[in-house]
Amino acid sequence: MSRNAKPGKRAAAASVRNLNYATSPLLASKTPPWRSRFLVALVGLAFAVLIGRAVYIQIIGTDFYQQQGDKRYGHVIEVPASRGRILDRNGQVLATSVPVPSIWAIPKDFTADVQQRNALARLLSMKPLELDQKLEGSRNFAWLKRQVDEPLWAQVRGLGLKGVHSLSEYRRKYPEGESAAHVVGFTNIEEKGQEGIELAFQGDLQGRHGSRAVLKDRLGRVIEDGSEQVDPVNGRDIQLSIDSKVQFFAYQRVRDAVAEHGAKAGSVVVLDVITGEVLALANYPSYDPGNRRKLSGEQLRNRALTDTFEPGSTMKPLVAAWALETKRVKSDTVINTAPRSLIVGPLVVRDAHPYDSLTVEQVIQKSSNVGAARLAMQMPARELWELFSTVGYGQKPQIDFPGAVTGRLKPHKTWKPVEQATMAYGYGLSASLLQIARAYTCLAREGGDVIPVTLLKHDAPVAGVKVYSPATAHEIRRMLQLAAGPGGTAPLAQTQGYSVGGKSGTAHKQEGKGYASNKYRSWFVGMAPISNPRIVVAVMVDEPSKGKYYGGAVAAPVFSQVVQQTLRLMGVPPDLEVTPQIMASKVSPAEPESF
């Protein structure tokens, strides 16, 4: 310190140098040893907890925390498989899946003013309240409308609403619409088959979905693809035996017949006699499989397969053929039909016209109930039951299609004489239109065998179960040609260029325990060309109400039109001169049918 320093400052410096820290009362107090140890232990414990937590998270509980992370940011996206197509026999598409947008939203991110909300609701065809309810269901995801058209999504996107997004899904398309609806069926919005082929072959058509792992941000946007991916396996295409052109034409003709005669409904079945393939199975009323908003049960019913009815006079050729086969009669054997009636127990079997006698072939040509009943009464009940069972009555059709019915054929041991008589002309048993068409294959085929039918394409000839000899089948075909010609019950079945044969049928409809006096079913089943049949066609019209109700007047014209179009499409050459046939069809009135 300099000599010039003030005395006060020199004294303070000396005091600092002479201070003894050990004599400070605060510092002089002794600290307990446990306190320092406790502090060290706390620090050590904290480090141990942190290390233990790290070990638990990184080693012991790693799976749990990995899952939690995956739930928040990692997602497995389903990669949908494309549903298989349904094709007709020529490769024409009957059902296919196309990608379409589906609109969804993240409710917590959704922002829109009242005007924008109303505009969105209007585009989605819903009320604003309905839109609000959808958005209130969840914070993170809500479907607004699934499987919409691209133009609609473009309009929604044009609103510029935050939180509204789209993703691609598949929607089923049905190019043939109403004409093939009952065959193809339809799927629900998840592409699960609900009816028809869509349901019957669900396992083959649906395929197997794939998947891929991705990372998403909080807005649901994919920011990174993971390494795990399972490729989808697309569904298998199903090719049907149906010819879409024959199907469409058959549908048009039965639709027109229903309208012309004021009927409730109608059906047509077309079978290939060589392969057993169903070339057409049409019903009216029908529906559009792609637009089912107002679908009713009447539209949905596949009547050709699910509706059963008493087959009426279509049974007569089967009974007559068996009488020929068993040598009980010949074609020219005379059957006593006088005096137009036959008493069997409590029943009086009647004919529409009084015939003193008819040959067997005239019984078929004129459709005589008395003649058919007399033929049936010559046979044991068991024998007749076995015949009906063999041709498919009372048996469920072995066809890959849901809803095919068995029909009704009582055990022969329970038959009463009156039942045996009425079954000969089609009362007392029931069958579907498909069963009736199949039964006639044993008359149409050269070998006299009844064949299985299929809705899947099968080009090869098929073997059946023998019912009649070739000679009997040939003889019955000649009788059926007479029934569909001049002097028969159905000359309107004649077709330009092709010879035909078949049998009309008319029956009172059942109501409760009896029959309605003014309600009928009319049908016609036959084959063409009769010289070498290639197809069997069966037509049914339910409850015609405009004066005409005989099968020869209501159903036979539909048969004629369908036969002509089908044989031409199949490339079958005509076997008749056209001009003489047209003249004959104009001048030949139909015989009234007994039923």
DSSP symbols for 290-353:
T--TT--HHHH--HHHH--B--GGGGHHHHHHHHHHTTS--TT-EEE-TTSEEEETTEEEE-SS
Q: Which residues contact 424 (CB under 8 A, 6 or more apart)?
A: 315, 316, 319, 369, 372, 373, 375, 376, 377
Q: Are residues 183 and 295 in the same domain?
A: no
Domain boundary among the residues 212, 239, 266 is at 239
213 and 295 housed in the same domain? no
Residue 280 shares a structural domain with residue 175: no
Is 97 catalytic? The answer is no
Asked if residue 551 is part of any domain, the answer here is yes
Question: Beta strands 186-187 and 535-542: pairing type?
Answer: unpaired
Number of domains the chain is built from: 2
User: Residue for token digits 């058209």?
Assistant: 149
Residue whose C-alpha is closest to residue 557's, from 520, 523, 514: 523
pLDDT of 536 reads: 98
Say whether both 536 and 388 belong to one domain.
yes
Closest CA to 376 of 335, 346, 431, 409: 335
Are residues 100 and 144 in contact, defined by beta-carbon separation less than 8 angstroms? no
Is the Cα dihedral 321, 325, 331, 335 positive or negative? negative
Q: Are residues 225 and 252 in the same domain?
A: no
Q: Where are the alpha helices (DSSP H) in 56-111?
A: 62-72
**What is the reported pLDDT for 587?**
43
Whether 572 and 427 share a structural domain: yes
Are residues 315 and 426 in contact, defined by beta-carbon separation less than 8 angstroms? Answer: yes
Q: C-alpha 180: how far from its chain's center?
A: 10
Residue 123 lies in a domain: no
The residue out of 239, 262, 284 marking a domain boundary is: 239
- Domain hosting residue 82, numbered range: 77-98+170-239
Q: 500 and 560 in contact (C-beta within 8 Å)?
A: yes
Q: Are residues 316 and 228 in the same domain?
A: no
Position 182 in a domain: yes
Nearest-Å Rg of the Cα atoms of the chain is 42
- Residue 146 amino acid letter: R
DSSP assignment letter at 454: B
pLDDT of residue 441: 97
Terminal-to-terminal C-alpha distance of the chain? 149
Pair of tokens at residue 173: 């398309």
Domain at 175, CATH number: 3.90.1310.10
Q: What is the pLDDT of residue 454?
A: 96
* pLDDT tens per residue, range 131-187: 888 888 777 788 899 888 899 999 998 888 888 888 888 889 999 999 999 999 999
Q: Is residue 286 part of a domain?
A: yes
For residue 207, tell me if it sits in a domain.
yes
* DSSP per-residue string spanning 502-563: EEEEEEEEEETTEEEEEEEEEEEEEEESTTS--EEEEEEEE---SS---HHHHTHHHHHHHH
120 CB-contact burial (10 Å; exposed 0-12 / middle 13-18 / buried 19+): buried
| Token pair belonging to 233 | 């396996």
Residue of 551, 538, 542 whose CA lies nearest to 265: 542
The C-alpha atoms of residue 143 and residue 149 are separated, in whole angstroms, by: 15
**Same-domain status, 228 and 258:** no
Euclidean distance between CA atoms 238 and 87, whole angstroms: 6
Residues 285 and 229 in one domain: no
Tell me what pLDDT residue 584 has. Answer: 42
For residue 176, being part of any structural domain is answered with: yes
Please choose, from the candidates 352, 590, 363, 586, the residue with its C-alpha nearest in 3D space to the C-alpha of residue 489: 590
Question: How far is 199 from 454, CA to CA, in rounded Å?
Answer: 16
381 found inside a domain: yes
> Strands 465-466, 449-450: parallel, antiparallel or unpaired by DSSP?
antiparallel
Q: Whole-prediction pTM value? A: 0.82
Cα 469 from chain centre: 38
Q: Are residues 287 and 227 in the same domain?
A: no
Classify residue 574 by its DSSP letter: P
Distance CA 581, CA 558 (A): 17
Q: What is the DSSP letter of 195?
A: E
Find out whether 505 and 314 touch, Cβ atoms under 8 Å: yes
Q: Which of 97, 244, 267, 313 is catalytic?
A: 313
And the tokens for 131?
Answer: 């839109």
Low-confidence ranges of the chain (pLDDT < 70): 1-31, 68-78, 213-228, 578-588, 595
**CATH code assigned at 525:** 3.40.710.10
Would you say how long the chain is, in residues?
Answer: 595
Residues 329 and 393 in one domain: yes
Which residue, 169, 179, 6, 198, is CA-closest to 79? Answer: 169
Inter-residue contact 556 to 264 (CB < 8 Å): no
Q: Residue 533: what pLDDT? A: 97
**Do 268 and 235 fall within a single domain?**
no
Last residue of a domain, one of 239, 258, 290: 239
Q: What is the pLDDT of residue 9?
A: 55
Burial class of residue 286, CB neighbours in 10 A (0-12, 13-18, 19+):
buried
Domain-located, residue 193: yes
